[in-house]
Structure formats: C-alpha cells, structure tokens
Structure 1
Amino acid sequence: MMRLRHATAVVFFAGLQCFITSGSIAGTADNQVQEAAWPTKAWPVSTPEEQGMQSGTLARLVETVGGYKQDSLLIVRHGKVVLDAYYAPYQPDITHDLRSVTKSVVSTLTAIEIKQGLLDSVDHPIMDLFADKRIPNVDEAKKAITVQHLLDMTSGIEWQEKSYTPDETLMRMYQAPDRTAFVLSQPMSDSPGAKFYYNSGNPYVLSALINRKTGQNALDFAKKELFGPLGVTSARWGRPDAQGVIDGEAGLSLSPHDMARFGYLYLRNGMWEGKQIIPSSWVDQAREGKVKATFGFHYANLWWSLPEKGAYMARGRHSQLILVLPKLDIVAVMTGILRDDQFYPTIRLIDDIAGAVKSDQPLPPDAVAQSLLAASVREAAIERPSPLGKTPELAKQISGKTYQVGSNTLRVNTFALNLVGPDPFWEITTYAGAVDQPAGHFSGLLGLDGIFRRSPPVNYGINASKGRWLDERTFALERRILGRSETQLWILAFDGNKVEIAFENTDGTKATLYGEVKE
C-alpha cells in the first residue's frame, strides 16, 4: 500500500506537478448545471480545486482504496475528471467486467424500449410477453408478474444464488437449453411485489424481452441506442445463448471511463447532448429506491440506493461500482477483484468523497496538494513485490515437464511449468466439455520476483501471473486476466512424478486435481 509520507517525498524530488486544464464549470446545488460538459469524445480533466474539492483529501483516498484489492478509482465532478487512479497490475483503458452492474444497463435499455414505444408499459404482465414459451406451472401469482416486478427484484419467483454451487438456481439456469423459459418455469415463493428478493433470472428475462421488442439482442440494441450516443466504445458482452439472448444479469465489460459515461447519463437525468435518452422519471425512480432491500439499501429499476445519503448506484460482485451523488454533482467509478468477504464499504466511500468537497465554487489553487495527489496516483500504478520463498532444486527438475491430469470439473487436461530461462511461463490445456466449451490451450508469462508479469494480449484478455515457492516441494501460482474480477490461485504440491493441484478462485470455485508426468 502507498504511504503518503513517501508520496510527499516524491513530490519535492519530482517538482510541483499537477493536473491542470483550462476552464471550469461553476457548481450548483441539486444537479442544476448551468453549463453541461458532455464527455462523448473524451473526458475533460481538471484539478480538484477547480471543482471545489481538496487534492490532499483525494490523495488519502487513493491510498486508502489501495489497501484493498481494487483495480481503479475514478471521480468526476461538474463533468470533469478530478481523480483517475489505476492500481497495478491493472492498467488504463483495459475493459473491466462489471458483473451485476450489467443489470443497471439492462434496466436502461428497458427504459429506452418504453420511451420509443416498443414496450407499452412496465405494468405489462411478463407471461403475456412470453406466451409462446412452454411454462408448465402458470398460476395466478405467476400471471401477475409484471415488467416492473422484474426491475424491482420483487417477482416472487423462487430462487437461490449465494454460494454459486452447481445446485443453485442461477447455475442451473446457465445449464438450461432455454434459460428464459427456465426462469419463468421456477415455482413462486411469494406474491409479486410482496418483498425484495435478489434474483438474477429477472434481468435475464428482461434481456430476452429486448430481443422480442427490438429484433436485436441487448448488445446490438445498446450500441445503437445507448452506447453510440454516449460515446461508449469499449463494450464487450459475451456470447448470446441458444435463443440469441445476451446475458442480462452479468457479462458486460466496459472501461472505467465508459462506466463513468453511463453514470453521467443518470446524473444528467437521462439527458445527453440535448437529447433525452431515457425518461427523467426513470432516473427519479432509481434514485428514490421505493423498495426496501437488504443491509440498509433500497432498490428500484435494477439500481441500488441509499436515499438518506443522497446516493444511488450500480453494484457488481467483487467491488464493481458506479456511484451517483446528485447533490454533489459527482459520479464515481470503482473496479476491483475483492473476494465476497472483502469490500470497501459504500457508505464509507460516499463519506470519503463528500469529505473532499468543500465548495460548489473553485477553491484557491494548491500546487503542493495537487502534486501530492499526482504522486499518489503514480504510486498506485507501481506494483509492490509480494514475499518470496527460497527456490529449491526441485524447480529445475519439474521445469518443462508436462503433467497429465485426471478427470476433473475444471476440464484441465495437462499442466506444465517452465521456471528456468529469461521468460518463465505456465501452460494449461483443457479438454472439450459442453457444446460451448471446446478444448483449449492457455499459457502466460510468469513473474518469479513477486511481481505480476503481463503476457501479450490474446483473444480473451491479458494474462498477468506470478509464482513463488511455499516450501521445498510446493509452488503457488497466482493468475489474473486483467479486467476480469476473478483471481485464480493454483497450489502445486510435487511428489516424485506426481502432482496434487489445489485450485481456488475469488468466485468461490474450489477443486483438487491430480496429475502425473506425461511420458
């Protein structure tokens, strides 16, 4: 983690540098801007002081957030970027998976359907919209589910998703030949509208509805009607299912700057460059959060909110966040790789950001504080080596050998390490599984100095890996695909010609594999 004392020393050796751009927008209360800045082509950049914020406070925030496994932190005030930090090994302009932030995008596409008259009303019964689906258990409660119930997570459909084990409803949905029909075929646990219950099947059905009403999948519709107008160019959104439906509950990836554009649309009440993209009433509903959810949060239109804090947000697993603070005229974006039991509290982040706001008018320039912030951002981009163990003689013996792995749930076929030479690397092959799971070959460079080593980009992303010896026969390999919120840990215990591999990732998947040197 960065230390501000060290960063302060860097400031005075490096000289007084700061983020300076000309021009500013005078702040006004309650999001009533006098002069809108539209970042369609690029985000304007400003010093925090020009936007009424303190650079020194933001420098401490960069350090605090860096103590968690975050990838990035971006803050926009009055339409200008005042903080843009990236934590190594993540880098700027790499798209990041949004996890459940995807749901808020699907909500927005539903709003566009309403505005364009493609969908007549959010009160339309959902079963009428999928009357051709063979749903075996349609009772009066299920007939009463509306589009709004799906948007508010109050559909009443019985659902389980917590540990992401194969028996849970969400995971069984992904194995179904028709995922939309699977969701609608689940029994009812409550009457629609009776209570909040988080169910990722709800937005999946809303994505299928986009196909029905627009003749396009969610990604194609978004490119034309949402991403295009906003200047969002980084979008990637997985593969359609057998019915051509894009995953509506997760799977979208955007760069942090494009995430901020999406949040800025809501900050500006659904308006973009003089055009009303979504109804302002839709934004109001998301902000007000009429449904009481869990842990003190409210919910509406697939957005979370904390009305008492004047905040609403799109949230995703492993610390993906788009935070909108209308009264402060702020959008904040955070991406990360945190485990489910790790998180940077949203309320704390709101308070930390609010604490940096001192005025709706520009503050006097503060070159020293601005340089301190610049140094903190630079420090964030420098990876600190993790501890290393002593390299045993075994490293040379196992290097270059390929281990044939027995049948396993990860579909790993072979595993190999090359730990000698200037470019150490790992290599994995997988055998074919389901129709959408072909055999594969994966490899990546491996840092043996405590630093993630990045590989050249491949079609699925950028591998970053590092490894160390835990003892004389046990090697730990940590692997990331930059921009994905998953971290993998492979612990390899060698015993003669055999190896036992313990796998675990931040999604909660665990597996033990057994292999033997391939002759």
Structure 2
Amino acid sequence: MLTFRADAERVGIGVMQRPATMKVFSLVVLVTGLTLFCTGCRAGSDAGAQERSRRSFYESNPVLTDRAVVAWSTASPSKVGLDPKKLEAGAKQLAAHPRARAFLVVRSGSLAWERYFHGAGPHESRNVHSASKSLLGALVGIAIKEDELTGVDHLVAKPFGDLLPTAPDRRRTLTVEHLLTMTTGLSWREDVTEYRIERRSNWVRAILHLRSVHPPGRKFHYSTGATHVLSAVLTRSTGEATHVYARKRLLEPLGVTVDRWGCHDPQGYDSGGCNVYLTPRELARFGQLFAQGGKWEGRQLVPAKWIEESWRARQKVDRRRSYGYLWWLFREGGHQVALAWGYGGQFVFVIPDLDLVAVVTTDTKGGFSGPKLDPIAFARDFLVKAVVAK
C-alpha cells in the first residue's frame, strides 16, 4: 500500500520550498530562466514571474505549456514484463491526491505506462524543484571530463577565493565534492536561510560566509545554498551560464527543451537546485539517459564512470537512505534505486538492474498542500513489485 505521509521528517530535505510570495517558515516533507532556453518561449511565463525570479530563491511555480511533446517508443506493460494491475494500483493511489499530475514508467527503453491526473497532460511543464540537482550533477561530470573542472577536488577558492574568508579559515578548503555531497559544514536551515540570502547583494559570498559548524566533508546537511554555489563554480569554470552549458552539452542532444530556468542571483548565476521547468516525458528521458549509462543515440553525453560515481553511497542520511553526488539512494527488494527528488513529489526513479525508469509529478503552483508521498514505499509497492519478468 502506498504511504501518504502526514508527519514531517527531520532529515534536511524535510523542508518545504515555498513560492516567493510566501514567507512562512514551517517544516514539511520534501517529496516532488535568467533566460528562457528557447525562442518562442512557452505560455504561462510573464514579466511579473521573471521579476520575482530575479530577486528570490523560489518562484510561484506557474504551469507552462510546451508546444512539442517529446517522442517515445511505446509498448504495453506486459510486453516489457510489467504487471499492469500493479501500475494501475499505483495510478489509483496517485489519483486520490488532488495535487498529483503524472505517472510514467519506462522499461527497456519503451514508454509502457503514462497516466495524467486532474486534467493534466503531456504538454504541461512544471517546476521540478530539487530534482534539478541531479541534472546539475550530470553537468559537473561533463565539465570534469572536458577538463573545465579539475575534478571533484576542485577548490571553490579557485574561482571564488576573493569571496571566501581569508586563510586559514577552513571554508577555503571547500571542494566541488563537498557541494555534491551536501557536506559543506556551513550553517544552513532549508527554507529559512534562503530568505536571508536573497536580501543580500551577493548570494555566493553570503553563502560562503555562513558560519562553519563542521569541517567540510564530515556531516551530511541538505542545502540548496550548496548547489547554488556549485552552479556559480560551474559557470566560472566553463565560461557559460549553467543553463547555456546544460543546453549545449546535455539537453539539446537529449532532445529536451527547458521551458524556464528561473531563480538567478544579482550576479547572474543560475539556480543550481530548483526552478527548472520540464514535462514528465522530458524527465523520463533524463532518467533513461542515466539508466543506459549516459549514452543517447550513440553519443556519450554523460561519462558512464561519472554515473557510477554519482550512484555510490557517500553519506548515510538515515536507516533507509543514502546520498551520492546529488542523487538519493536506497535499496528495495534487493535492487538499488537512484532517485532525483524534488519538493512536492517530483520524482525520477532509476532502477538500473531492472532497466526501469519512473516519473511522478505534482502541481506546486502557489505551494504544495496535502499528505506527502513516500517514494520508498512507492518504489516497493508499484515499481519493483510490478516487474514480473526480467
């Protein structure tokens, strides 16, 4: 049985990314640009929303309309070894939630299940929130391969030494790996600290000057501030805005067009941890890219070795979950599950040894309300158990 959780988890990601218009700092469970990527951008963006994105960490999460639907080869569930009754049960549970919008399952590279709820459809593009952190992780892997970053040991001080406290402060030892694994040691309270940072004239400097409570690398502590700094490091190192680098090196070759990449800071650095708008089919394509080792249509977009490293447990979060390089990790039914996880119930599940990818999305316009979906229970009851033939 799928669990909708009404209790709040206290593990860092249990904080809610509220829209910019809301400044209430209560805790809930976390479950779901500067330039628009394309010419002829999508319906639903407006000058007011763009202005909010220029001064706030978070947006009001409008629903955008994508003019094109990403193509997928399709197959019936039974054709690819899936039990349609299990998938139907999962869809029924999701449909009971007023905010649920999509449930897609891909097996062996074919779209075998696609359901939309409460009037939603494949043309709708929504903020995927922190699921975009996993996309940022892919860009880091590409930049390392291209020698634009020296490696995960690349010092934040290399591009931003002028913004860090002077030596011998331990914040000067921060590396890309600390940002990837949420182990910066900096004092950060998700959904609280952001609203202080956004009032500062230089967000990267303000984040790097937060109090150091642990040596870097010692302790997992979830922080969207860490990924904002990582986006800025990527931009300084590659010479291109994060959204431009993503479009050229990853998304265009993948056949994906981001409808909006909002939340850029006063210096113009793109968000690295939220406010990327994608359709469910586009999210599924990103998951499938990782499922097949980073190769798409014969081209190696993301190094296969980087995917292996990203999915290696590096920090124990609690008894069920670990964290890799901007991916959540857990095991269910003897299978490793890699999860891109965004506020409100934006999920990209990748189960490599079952050759299975699944996407769940919800609507967070104006904020998310209602019980929270437990992704581990969902993976157990409606994904792993749906596989009847390997």
TM-score (norm 1): 0.58
Residue in 2 aligned with 1:43? 72
Of 348, 354, 362, 2:377 maps to 348
Of 344, 350, 356, 1:318 maps to 344
Aligned partners of 1:201 and 1:241: how far apart in 2?
A: 12
Of 115, 123, 126, 1:96 maps to 126
Identity of aligned residues (%): 32
Residue in 2 aligned with 1:402? none
Contact between 1:72 and 1:335, CA under 8 Å: does it hold in 2? yes
More strand by share: 1
Aligned partners of 2:141 and 2:257: how far apart in 1?
A: 21
- Pairing 1:251–2:286 present: no
Residue by residue over 1:263-288, the C-alpha shift from the partner in whole angstroms, topping out at 9 and shown as x without a partner, is: 11110111222222222222112222
Secondary structure of the 2:261 match is: coil
- Pairing 1:332–2:362 present: no
Residue in 1 aligned with 2:183? 154
- Flag the 1:310–1:255 CA change in 2: closer, same or farther, 3 A: same
Aligned partners of 1:144 and 1:136: how far apart in 2?
A: 11
Secondary structure of the 1:310 match is: strand
Residue in 2 aligned with 1:383? none
Task: Give the counterpart letter for 1:48 in structure 2.
Answer: P
C-alpha displacement of 1:242: 2.0
Aligned partners of 1:342 and 1:104: how far apart in 2?
A: 24
Task: Write out aligned runs for 1:440-451 (5 A).
Answer: none
Secondary structure of the 1:232 match is: coil
Secondary structure of the 2:253 match is: helix
Secondary structure of the 2:103 match is: strand
- Flag the 1:152–1:98 CA change in 2: closer, same or farther, 3 A: same
Secondary structure of the 2:101 match is: strand
Residue by residue over 1:221-262, the C-alpha shift from the partner in whole angstroms, topping out at 9 and shown as x without a partner, is: 111111011000244201532212111121101000110111
Contact between 2:311 and 2:325, CA under 8 Å: does it hold in 1? no
Contact between 1:298 and 1:307, CA under 8 Å: does it hold in 2? no
C-alpha displacement of 1:214: 1.8
RMSD across aligned positions (CA): 1.8
Of 75, 78, 84, 2:108 maps to 78
Contact between 1:289 and 1:307, CA under 8 Å: does it hold in 2? no
- For structure 1, which segment, 73-82 or 349-358, has the greater mean C-alpha deviation from structure 2 after superposition? 349-358
Residue in 1 aligned with 2:147? 117
**Runs (5+) with no aligned partner, structure 2:** 1-68
- State which structure, 1 or 2, has the greater radius of gyration over its C-alpha atoms: 1
Task: Give the counterpart letter for 2:111 in structure 1.
Answer: V
Contact between 1:317 and 1:340, CA under 8 Å: does it hold in 2? no
Of 211, 220, 223, 2:247 maps to 223
C-alpha displacement of 1:96: 1.2
**Which of structures 1 and 2 has the larger relative contact order (alpha carbons within 8 angstroms, sep 6+)?**
2
Task: Write out aligned runs for 1:436-475 (5 A).
Answer: none
Aligned partners of 1:124 and 1:295: how far apart in 2?
A: 31
Task: Give the counterpart letter for 1:325 in structure 2.
Answer: I
Aligned partners of 2:290 and 2:181: how far apart in 1?
A: 18
- Pairing 1:145–2:174 present: yes
Aligned partners of 1:225 and 1:84: how far apart in 2?
A: 28
C-alpha displacement of 1:302: 0.8
Contact between 1:45 and 1:81, CA under 8 Å: does it hold in 2? yes
Contact between 2:159 and 2:237, CA under 8 Å: does it hold in 1? no
Residue by residue over 1:344-394, the C-alpha shift from the partner in whole angstroms, topping out at 9 and shown as x without a partner, is: 21122112112221112xxxxxxxxxxxxxxxxxxxxxxxxxxxxxxxxxx
- For structure 1, which segment, 200-209 or 86-95, has the greater mean C-alpha deviation from structure 2 after superposition? 86-95
Residue in 1 aligned with 2:308? 284
C-alpha displacement of 1:138: 5.2
Secondary structure of the 1:65 match is: helix
**Runs (5+) with no aligned partner, structure 1:** 1-39, 361-519
Contact between 1:41 and 1:231, CA under 8 Å: does it hold in 2? yes
